[in-house]
Amino acid sequence: MRIVSVVFGCVSAFFVFYTVRLLLVTRFLQGVRSTGHGAYIGAVAFPVIAIAFGWSAVALWRRSNRVG
């Protein structure tokens, strides 16, 4: 259970990094091309994914403490 928790934590950290990278590359979404609508989707989706995986990692870690 803890291995899955660590993997989920790493996935969460990756999406946090990618959110920051997206914001820096697009100058906080000011430099998006007219065809770059994926940047706006990513600006919403990446933090949601990061929060979901982070929450899951913490929940699994706590659950493994209770079960083990």
> Taking the domains of the chain in order of start, what are their residue ranges?
2-67
Torsion of CA 33, 35, 41, 46, to 10 degrees: -60
Backbone angles phi, psi at 67, to 5 degrees: -75, -45
The Cα–Cα gap between 49 and 5 comes to 15
The Cα–Cα gap between 24 and 5 comes to 29
67, pLDDT greater than 80:
no
What value, to the nearest 5°, has the Cα angle with vertex 13 and ends 8 and 18?
Answer: 125
Instruction: Judge whether 9 and 62 are in contact, CB under 8 Å.
Output: no
Residues 10-45 have pLDDT tens digits of 999 999 999 999 999 999 999 998 888 999 999 999
With cut-offs at 50, 70 and 90, classify the pLDDT of residue 59. Answer: very high
Q: What is the pLDDT of residue 34?
A: 87
